Amino acid sequence: MELEIPVQDAFTFRPGQLQATPVFAIADFAAVAAAGTTLKPDWVNATIDANLKLIAPAQGVALRAKGRVIDAGKLLTICAADVYAVAEDGSETLCATLLGTARNIDMNPRPQ
């Protein structure tokens, strides 16, 4: 799962440098969306735990997050994402990495 958002001044705390919240948001969404690709029909998921490590300043024209599944289980899926700051020339700098856990939820449970 790959996502990209533009860097906007409203989310920066220094000119062109994003605060941690949008970095976490795109990382979480990419990781948990990747986990969602493993779900059966009528199942959804939600983040129950995530740990973000900021590695470098998130500055550039965009953020690009690349999510992946580490281990898909029936009720829990371990997922991860790397977030890159994208420069005007398209080059990427790793600025954060996230390890998360998604809870898989059956929207049509069988009666017991």
Tens of pLDDT along 59-73?
999 999 999 999 999
Written as one string, the DSSP assignment of 26-46 is: HHHHHHHHHHHTTPPTTEEEE
Tens of pLDDT along 87-106?
999 999 999 999 999 999 99
CATH 3.10.129.10 assigned to domain 2-106? The reply is: yes
- 3-class secondary structure, 13: strand
**d(C-alpha 65, C-alpha 80), whole Å:** 10
Q: Which amino acid is at 21?
A: T
Tens of pLDDT along 10-29?
888 887 788 899 999 999 99
Contacts of 82 (CB under 8 A, 6+ apart): 27, 65, 66, 94, 96, 97, 98
Please state the pTM of the whole predicted model.
0.92
Mean pLDDT of the region 82-87: 97
Tokens of 11: 């989310």
- The structural domains of the chain, with segments of one domain joined by +, span 2-106
Sheet of strand 76-86, all strands in order from the earlier edge strand to the far edge: 2-6, 62-72, 76-86, 92-106, 43-54
% of the chain residues with pLDDT over 90: 86
Q: Which amino acid is at 79?
A: C
